[in-house]
Amino acid sequence: MNKVNCAVCNKEEYVSNSRNKNYKTCSRTCFSIFKKSQTVNNAVCTECKKEFHIKPSQKSRFCRTMGIFCSTKCSTAFKKSFYLGEKNPNYRGRLIDSGGYSIVYTLKYGRLKAHQAVAFDILGINKIPKGYCIHHRDTMTINNSPENLCFLSGSDHAWLHKQYGNATLYAFMNNKIDLESLIDWSTDKEKAKRLLPLNLLNQRGVVKLDELLENPEEDNQQPS
């Protein structure tokens, strides 16, 4: 047995050799006090400026873009002031939404995504039928010219992106790759030949929108 003294209350006791190796305190209460005494404040609360301790692993593991907070109360208080005006996700004057799509306000349609407003005007509709979407041909969400947009079913839209990927579609629209090459690369040449040249201008008057509204596809609508 080994004679030891508690690091907090200095109580004397005898412990076994195995316990003596890591002995610090005589009880859980003392150990709690001892642990707090060994904790060094290494952070400052962004809201209340109070110094507090945070695990180093938490500092390195999490991306804290707004700051570090000592409590949920401080975090909530900070967010109330941080998310004011344009920073608020629901800000009505926002020009670009969280998905990178341009937002516009029109007298005819109200507030909606720019590519939808362009499609509505050209195709003569006021909503996107279930199972369909507006595709950005060069994958650039801010390019909302009629030549860069086309009306597709959800399945065709998903197939295009899976078949070629954003980089290839962008290169095609910027004349880095010709249409014949893209069709030749495809696993479904007839589908590629049909879909790649489409845009709102050559679809105007061709797409049977009345039929689509009455008989929507079963596919879930895909994001554009």
Task: Name the DSSP class of 104.
Answer: E
Judging by beta carbons within 10 Å of its beta carbon (0-12, 13-18, 19+), is residue 31 exposed, middle or buried? middle
Domain identity same for 57 and 124: no
pLDDT at 190: 94
User: From CA 210, how far away is CA 126, in angstroms rounded?
Assistant: 12
Instruction: Tell me if 157 is assigned to some domain.
Output: yes
What is the domain count for the chain? 3
One domain, residues 114 and 157: yes
Q: Residues 6 or more apart from 99 whose CB is under 8 A from it?
A: 141, 223
Q: Are residues 163 and 136 in the same domain?
A: yes
Does 96 fall in a domain?
no
CB-CB neighbours of 211 under 10 Å: 10
CA distance 121 to 115: 10
Please indicate, yes or no, if residue 207 is contained in any of the structural domains: yes
Q: Are residues 34 and 45 in the same domain?
A: no
**In degrees, to the nearest 5, what angle opens at C-alpha 19 toward C-alphas 15 and 14?**
10
Do 67 and 113 fall into the same domain? no
Domain shared by 115 and 132, yes or no: yes
* pLDDT band, very low/low/confident/very high, at 218 (cuts 50, 70, 90): very low
* Residues 32 and 124 reside in one and the same domain: no
Contacts for 207 with CB less than 8 Å, ≥ 6 apart: 123, 151
> Is 120 inside a domain boundary?
yes
Q: Residues 206, 155: one domain?
A: yes
What's the CA gap between 152 and 133, in Å, rounded? 6
In a domain, 27, yes or no: yes
pLDDT digits (tens, 9 = 90+) for 50-105: 988 888 777 776 666 778 888 999 989 988 888 777 677 666 666 777 677 888 88
Is there a single domain that holds both residue 205 and residue 111? yes
User: 89 in a domain, yes or no?
Assistant: no
State pLDDT tens for residues 96-135. Answer: 776 778 888 888 888 889 999 999 999 888 888 888 999 9
Q: Do 133 and 188 fall into the same domain?
A: yes
Q: Report the pLDDT value the prediction gives residue 38, as an integer from 0 to 100.
A: 77
Q: What is the pLDDT of residues 169-214, one digit of tens each?
A: 999 999 999 999 999 999 999 999 999 999 999 888 765 555 554 4
Residue span of the structural domain in which 120 resides: 103-214
pLDDT, position 83: 79
What's residue 63's pLDDT?
64
Residue, of 191 and 223, whose pLDDT is higher: 191
162 or 204, which is more confident: 162
Does 188 reside within a domain? yes
Report pTM. Answer: 0.56
97 occurs within a structural domain: no
* pLDDT of 138: 95
Using the predicted structure, report yes or no on whether residue 223 has a pLDDT greater than 60: no
